[in-house]
């Protein structure tokens, strides 16, 4: 389980690299990474934490892009459908995917204090829950695995 964690790292490199991957993916799958969608992804990548739809929207507004809620929700829908971003249910917030390219069932460690998020790839709960689902005849569309708590930094601050 490779976790991209709470350690500092080179943001600008991971931003540009992820954007390139997203462009490639869109080209291959006939999806359109329009300016507003691309900008949404850039913002999520730059923040590197979970942002609410309205947080994203105020970035848009500040930049002269659309400022009504559907603008943000549509961009987020696109990004999440394409797998470029994930919704953090426990925070009603959204974050750029940290494992673009791998078809994964994400699991998150979420700091409720600073809203930073570590994304881990999981097969575990897929396996167990998947087994329970098969036994029950349940058809899984989406899996949510989130651990809410405090990151090392916020523990120290407390």
Partner DNA sequence: GTCGTTGATGTTATGATATAACAATGGAGT
Partner DNA sequence: ACTCCATTGTTATATCATAACATCAACGAC
Binding site for DNA (CB under 7 A): 31-32, 34-37, 52-54, 65-71, 73-75, 78, 87, 92-93
38 DSSP β-pair partners: none
For position 111 contacting a copy of itself by CB under 8 A, the verdict is: yes
For position 25 contacting a copy of itself by CB under 8 A, the verdict is: no
Nearest residue (CB) to a copy of itself, 39 versus 48: 48
Choose from DNA, a copy of itself, none: what does 129 bind? Cβ within 5-8 Å by kind: a copy of itself
97 close to 84: Cβ distance less than 8 angstroms:
yes
Nearest residue (CB) to a copy of itself, 6 versus 25: 6
What token pair was written down for 66?
């659309």
123 close to 107: Cβ distance less than 8 angstroms:
no
Rounded Cα distance between 54 and 8, Å, is: 26
84 close to 43: Cβ distance less than 8 angstroms:
no
Rounded Cα distance between 139 and 136, Å, is: 9
94 close to 76: Cβ distance less than 8 angstroms:
yes
Nearest residue (CB) to a copy of itself, 12 versus 139: 139
Nearest residue (CB) to a copy of itself, 43 versus 120: 120
Nearest residue (CB) to DNA, 65 versus 154: 65
Rounded Cα distance between 98 and 84, Å, is: 8
For position 148 contacting a copy of itself by CB under 8 A, the verdict is: yes
| Least distance from DNA to the Cβ atom of residue 7, Å | 27
Grouping H, G, I as helix, E, B as strand and the rest as coil, residue 93 is strand
Enumerate binding residues for a copy of itself (CB under 8 A): 1, 3, 5-6, 89-90, 107, 109, 111-112, 118, 120, 122, 124-125, 127-129, 131-133, 135-152, 155
């Amino acid at each position: 389980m490779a976790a991209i964690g709470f350690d500092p790292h080179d943001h600008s490199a991971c931003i540009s690299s992820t954007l390139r991957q997203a462009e490639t993916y869109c080209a291959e799958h006939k999806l359109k990474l329009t300016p507003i969608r691309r900008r949404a992804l850039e913002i999520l990548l730059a923040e590197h934490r979970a942002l609410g739809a309205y947080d994203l929207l105020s970035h848009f507004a500040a930049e002269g892009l659309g400022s009504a809620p559907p603008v943000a929700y549509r961009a987020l829908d696109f990004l999440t459908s394409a797998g470029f971003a994930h919704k953090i249910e426990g925070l009603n917030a959204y974050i750029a995917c940290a494992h673009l390219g791998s078809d994964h069932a994400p699991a998150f460690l979420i700091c409720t204090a600073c809203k930073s998020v570590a994304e881990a790839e999981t097969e575990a709960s897929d396996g167990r829950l998947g087994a329970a689902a098969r036994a029950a005849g349940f058809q899984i569309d989406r899996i949510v695995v989130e651990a809410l708590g405090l990151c090392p930094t916020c523990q120290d601050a407390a």
